[in-house]
Amino acid sequence: MGMHIADPEVVRLVADLAKSEGTTKTEALRRLLRKTMAGRQKEATRAGFGKFAAGLMAEARRKKIAPASKAEMDGLWG
């Protein structure tokens, strides 16, 4: 499927990017889009982990579970 970009600034930016990378406009745009999507996925993963960790901490507070001591944590590593 073809794609037409009518915005002159976008066309110029893609051309500049392709030239700086020594590749085609299509490949430059592909790399940029993949990089952007990977960044968003990483952000979503971090956000999900943050929510998971916050839930664990809230549950530990509700159950009045004391944090592990340094000695206990060191013992986990042998």
pLDDT of residue 2 exceeding 90? no
Query: What are 17-70's pLDDT values in tens digits?
Result: 999 999 999 999 999 999 999 999 999 999 999 999 999 999 999 999 998 999
**Residue 15 in tokens:** 């051309």
pLDDT at 72 (0 to 100): 93
Q: What is the pTM of this model?
A: 0.63
Tokens 């970009």 -> residue: 5
**pLDDT(1) > 80:** no
Compute the C-alpha angle 69/48/77, nearest 5°: 30
